[in-house]
Structure 1
Amino acid sequence: MSRLAAPSRIVKRHTTFADRLGRDSVLYWLLKYIFLGPLLRLIFRPQVEGLEHVPDQGPAILASNHLSFSDSIFMPLVVKRKVTFVAKAEYFTGKGLKGWLTKMFFVGTGTIPVDRSGGRAAQAALDTQLRVLRAGGLAGIYPEGTRSPDGRLFRGKTGVARLALESGATVVPVAMLNSDVVQPTGKLIPKVMRVKIRFGAPLDFSRYAGMAGDRFVERAITDEIMYDVMELSGREYVDTYAVKIKNVAAAGV
């Protein structure tokens, strides 16, 4: 039987990572440029410095300090390209109207779910962001690993360095300058005031190519990134992990 005469078959197409990014991008661009974005720009009038440091194309890592829940809204808002963050999968599986709205919010802000089960949350997040970079995208990351408990800048975790080494992407340091004032921790409704963001010159770590996994190299790279974020933000630097400070506070020590 010739190929032309062969019976038709239904071929199930596997959904790829790029397919999912493409689907999510539709909602992302609709919210950013049609529905939510214009309103946020009108109300909060973002003041941005150094936006020219974000490349127009190709992979790059945007490494930012983390002061407020709204950081993941305002920083992507001012960047022309899509910025992809990761978040725990539970944010995408809630029930009812609230669950649906939460899922739409995270999808609409360029966030993709990561399975945090099995103690592999950090590695799963890095693997996901590595796929974003290999697809030529912008990966957003908070090296501190959590929001600052008091506005200071804390020690960065080395995942950002590993991501840079494994992807070969440049790192653009970012400083959120006043988002903790615009929306302090625990406040649902942000204050109506001007949001200020500063982007620094890209950092190239190609000189360390092939050295992913070397903890001394990864620490040196991370510290260099955090130094630039400190310089951009003007915030006091504390050589301690933010989560440790939070745990001590929670324990009442």
Structure 2
Amino acid sequence: MSAYYTLFKHVLIGPPLKGYYRPWVEGVEHVPEAGGAILASNHLAVSDSFFLPLVISRKVVFLGKQEYFTGKGFKGYATRAFMEGVGTIPVHRGGGRASEAALRTGLQVLQSGQLLGIYPEGTRSPDGRLYRGKTGIARMAIEAGVPIIPLAMIGTDVAQPIGQKVPSRTDIGVRFGPPLRLDAYAGRQEDREALREVTDGVMKAIQELSGQEYVDRDAARYKLELERGQTPPIDPNESP
């Protein structure tokens, strides 16, 4: 583990968060003790990335946007140190080459035998529902030959609603499900149908763990449409 990660998890952040929030965990036995694997989670709040590593002994690596690591002055240094401390490595975000670079970085993490934390929705849920997953998670898992461990963050959206910087005191938990092994998809990392099938299976597993309503839409696009006033809020009684 990096010095920053060890310092943050075991000294600066971990003990106070554990002591105050007392996060609970179910199914932690599904997380392998060694070897590469993807931890696939719903994404309800910024604090998801803080609480998930607290409930398991192994380091979790997340991919974060490059801008977190390039700030100037004390604020830039503090942000960079914090991101490194919670296990984030920088990637350029966006489409095309940036997306390919992010996938390559994720593959390197997995092939080195580490745990890679991924939010398949690609962004925080705008309303607490679970949105369609992006297929990069399936491509990485198939190409690296690693299992996907579905999990659900519980209560982080109540503790930290959108716009709130510091989480409030409430029960927060993490629920892990059995690993999804993709041996039957070996060699199909470029097969779009296979990638969508695997990704949809991952989202179904997360939904069963979280109890969230599933929305078959891209979360980031839906957020943008809401900001532009181009679409009404989703009616839970209607299909999207």
Distance 2:73 2:179 in 1: 43
Which of residues 28, 31, 35 in structure 1 aligns to 2:12? 35
Distance 1:138 1:120 in 2: 24
Distance 2:97 2:67 in 1: 15
Q: Indicate the residue corresponding to 1:53 in structure 2.
A: 30
Distance 2:43 2:98 in 1: 19
Per-residue deviation, 1:29: 1.2
Q: Indicate the residue corresponding to 2:59 in structure 1.
A: 82
**Which structure is larger by alpha-carbon Rg, 1 or 2?**
1
Corresponding letter in the other structure for 2:100: Q
Deviation track 1:99-144 (CA, whole Å, cap 9, x = no partner) reads: 1111111000000011237843322221111001110000010100
Q: Indicate the residue corresponding to 2:116 in structure 1.
A: 139
Deviation track 1:38-65 (CA, whole Å, cap 9, x = no partner) reads: 1110011001111111000001000001
Q: Indicate the residue corresponding to 1:162 in structure 2.
A: 139
Q: Percent identity?
A: 55
Which of residues 109, 117, 129 in structure 1 aligns to 2:86? 109
Q: Indicate the residue corresponding to 1:128 in structure 2.
A: 105
Per-residue deviation, 1:247: 1.1
Q: Indicate the residue corresponding to 1:5 in structure 2.
A: none
Which of residues 199, 204, 227 in structure 1 aligns to 2:176? 199
Where do 4+ consecutive residues of structure 1 move more than 3 Å? 116-119
Distance 1:51 1:140 in 2: 15
Distance 1:196 1:129 in 2: 26
Secondary structure of 2:113's match?
A: coil
Flag structure 2 segments of 5+ consecutive residues without an equivalent.
231-240
Which of residues 148, 160, 165 in structure 2 aligns to 1:171? 148
Residue 98 in structure 1 maps to residue 99 in structure 2: no
Q: Indicate the residue corresponding to 1:245 in structure 2.
A: 222
Q: Indicate the residue corresponding to 2:235 in structure 1.
A: none
Structure 1 length-normalised TM: 0.88
Q: Indicate the residue corresponding to 2:200 in structure 1.
A: 223
Distance 1:86 1:94 in 2: 17
Distance 2:126 2:52 in 1: 20
Q: Indicate the residue corresponding to 1:148 in structure 2.
A: 125
Secondary structure of 2:151's match?
A: strand
Corresponding letter in the other structure for 1:37: G
| 8 Å contact from structure 2 (residues 151, 206) kept in 1 | yes
Residue 236 in structure 1 maps to residue 230 in structure 2: no
Distance 1:103 1:60 in 2: 25
**Count of matched residue pairs:** 230
Per-residue deviation, 1:211: 0.8
Structure 1 vs Structure 2 CA RMSD: 1.2
| 8 Å contact from structure 2 (residues 155, 170) kept in 1 | no
